Amino acid sequence: MTVEYVHDSIEYVRVLMTVEKDGAVFNPTSDVVKMTFTAVDSLVGTETWYDSSWETAGIKYFARCLIGPTPGKVELTHGTWFVWVKVTDNPETPIKRAGVIDVY
């Protein structure tokens, strides 16, 4: 995933999440989801994880985080950013790099 955003826009960064349990599609929307954004030369470390939400479309599930100036959750400067998603489940808490966004 590579997505372009204009710096002053307020938009959701949406990440399609493929979730299976016992070989079947699983609804993850009861799990806590958070997202963070790092410079492309950085890995996840001490970044702030931003509360995110779920969006559903049939059996498709998207993690989403509102970016941009207020009322966005995070305002990203111009540049290229890695998008990371963390889902808190029991017993797993996977952290996955979901793609890249370019902010102009």
- Structural domain range at position 6: 2-103
Q: How confident is the model at residue 41 (pLDDT cuts 50, 70, 90)?
A: confident
DSSP labels, 20-73: EETTEE---TTSEEEEEEEETT--SSSPPPEE-EEEEETTEEEEEEEESSTTSS
Number of domains the chain is built from: 1
State pLDDT tens for residues 64-84.
Answer: 999 999 888 899 999 999 999
CATH number of the domain to which 86 belongs? 2.60.40
pTM: 0.90
Q: How confident is the model at residue 40 (pLDDT cuts 50, 70, 90)?
A: confident
Give the pLDDT score at 63.
98
